Amino acid sequence: MLEPNTTAPEFTLPDQNGNLVSLSDFRGQKVILYFYPKDNTSGCTTQACAYRDQYPEFVKKGVKVIGISKDTVRSHANFEKKYDLPFTLLADPDRSVLQAYDVLKEKTMYGKKVMGTIRTTYLIDENGRIEKAFEKVKPEQDSTILLEQLD
């Protein structure tokens, strides 16, 4: 996991509509980058819907919410539509940003060792520096914890 008070790695990825989005596009405002394993899985859906439900609070605080996974643009578009998600989802199928943010780790699934995304959330400040970092977050608590960090 990347440490607080370090510069967040710059990236450019396509969003759920195929538009390229860079971290630097959001200089001057806080950004929540949450990394999750896979669209339409139970934990990831719970996490996304919690951010959706609390999204008006993030907007009031001037904070941009961005979800990133290895899924494709098409998968993100379907996920956004199915759950009416009001925030940006970025596709990282080559996993370069997942690696840059140190969220791609070996884990055990069904008794096998695989490389997978560790559910991690970063709060990035207006200058592009990591303000807070949360590893192995619980899907149902992540958005609430982040809102509390903004007070």
The contacts of residue 45 (CB under 8 Å, 6+ apart) are 83
Is the pLDDT at 109 greater than 80? The verdict is no
Q: Which one is catalytic: 8, 44, 50, 130?
A: 44
Tens digits of residue pLDDT in 72-97: 999 999 999 999 999 999 999 999 99
| pLDDT of 116 above 90 | no
pTM of the model: 0.94
Q: Dump pLDDT digits (tens) for 12-46.
A: 999 999 999 999 999 999 999 999 999 999 999 99
Query: CA nearest 143: which of 51, 80, 57?
Result: 51
Structural contact between residues 133 and 120, judged by C-beta atoms closer than 8 angstroms: yes
Domains of the chain: 12-149 (3.40.30.10)
Q: Length of the chain in residues, anyone?
A: 151
Kind of pairing between the strands at 130-135 and 120-124: antiparallel
Annotation says 49 is catalytic: no
